[in-house]
Amino acid sequence: MASTFDAAPEGVRERSTASLTISDPKVLLEKLVEEANKHRGALREQDGYTIPFREGGLVRIRVEGGTLHFTAEGPTVERREHIERTVSELAISQLGDEAVLSWQPQA
């Protein structure tokens, strides 16, 4: 008997990325994670953090040299865009206008 789970399609995920080069990215990363822990928690990973969103989706944040790399994922375009706005607003609140993120949708 064939497994019905093999025939089930993978959940569609909407993904986008953004990068921000600043003088001390680890300080901003700590502030973003601290703020996330107040509302939704954060998971420490080997190369950064993953911040889940209760209504679905997440953002992954990594530091490479002097750059923070963000990857937003959501089950729908609308949800992904909500995550992008939330992360962008948080970055601007911590660093001001120098922290503007330009999100690029990924296929």
pLDDT of 55: 84
Q: Give how far Cα 98 sits from Cα of 50, 92, 94, Å.
A: 23, 7, 10
Q: Is residue 5 part of a domain?
A: no
pLDDT of 9: 43
Q: Is residue 40 part of a domain?
A: yes
- Pairing state between β 67-74 and 14-21: antiparallel
pLDDT of 30: 85
Question: What is the domain-level CATH number for residue 66?
Answer: 3.30.310.50
Q: Is residue 2 part of a domain?
A: no
Residue predicted with more confidence, 17 or 41: 17
Q: Per-residue confidence at 4, pLDDT binned at 50, 70, 90?
A: very low
pLDDT of 12: 64
Q: Is residue 92 part of a domain?
A: yes
Q: What angle do CA 79, 38, 69 make, to 5 degrees?
A: 55
Identity at 1, one-letter amino acid code? M
Q: Is residue 8 part of a domain?
A: no
Q: What angle do CA 98, 100, 105 make, to 5 degrees?
A: 150
pLDDT of 13: 87
The residue range of the domain holding 38 is 13-106
Report the number of distinct structural domains present in the chain: 1
Q: Is residue 1 part of a domain?
A: no
Mean pLDDT of 6-21: 75
Q: Is residue 6 part of a domain?
A: no
User: pTM surpassing 0.85?
Assistant: no
E strand spans, the chain: 14-21, 43-45, 48-52, 58-64, 67-74, 104-106
Q: Is residue 7 part of a domain?
A: no
Whole-number percent of the chain with pLDDT over 70: 87
pLDDT of 101: 93
Phi, psi of 86 (to 5 degrees): -60, -45
3-state secondary structure 47-63: CEEEEECCCCCEEEEEE
